[in-house]
Structure 1
Amino acid sequence: MISVSFLTSMLAGLVTKLGIDQLMKHGYMPQATYIKAALKALEKDDLDEAIRSYHLSVRRWRPSQRTEVAGEIIASAIAVRIAKLERRVAELDEILYPRRFSRQFWLNLLPRNRSKLQALQEERKGYEEAITVLNKIRDNLNQRG
């Protein structure tokens, strides 16, 4: 049989945890809490959570040196992702739009490669959309920070 004191302590702990989660969700915790959460999210490669935590850190309080540094770290993480995507787009461009009279140029003319080229064009389009979204996020981050 489970004792009443054990159930009471479990209930109190659960209510406390839920209360702290709600305070954190709505931005009532200290600024350092959100900066730490943003940097931990970047370690886990979760850019969305890092940006959300950063915005919570500057919403209620004046930006400090810590928030400026965290903003720069997030912006550099975004820049790294953009650079990787741009390199991949450049690789796809070499395949899709080769130099005239190169081997790849003649391979692209063959009918059996059409479906592959269409798939690569769709992949390139997806990467370009991701680059524009990341640029908008970086601009929004720079405006707020």
Structure 2
Amino acid sequence: MRKFVLSIFTIFLLHFSFSFSQLRIAVLPFQNMDGDLSLNLLSYQLQDSVAKLLHQYDSTQKYFVIIPADSIDFLVSQFNLDPTNPQYPTDMWKAVKMLNADAVISGTFNRKAERILINAYIYDVNTKLAYPDHQARDIFKPEDKVMEAVPIIVKKLLPGLIQ
């Protein structure tokens, strides 16, 4: 009887801990859809800024853990991932698998009429599909103020990470 009660308690404890575990989030470089090589740095600036702002919102890691940028950078270099390459979306999933992430944040940007159009998404790693209700789409910012889009992106994506 004692073993039975102990095993039930262990199962309950494991179930309880898994139901309240944090999401492991990988914030990946944004894809440069414009093709202008002068915008490539923006891929990594957006990645870094989004990751830092998300970390500020949940600095105690109650809801999610941001995978460190150096781990992501290592895999990006190991797999020779290039956000300007058309194969980037498919190659990205190989690297994500090794990160043991639960969700991925990434996006695209494009230059339109001297403005930058940004889209950002949260992807479920198991289905490789974007969360339908938590997307930051069609954010237009002048080229010199493109980083003002980061708080808008995080505000739209954050509810998908803390539910």
The two structures have a TM-score, normalised by structure 2, of 0.29
Indicate the structure (1 or 2) with the bigger Cα radius of gyration.
1
Going by fraction, where is strand more abundant, 1 or 2?
Answer: 2
Going by fraction, where is helix more abundant, 1 or 2?
Answer: 1
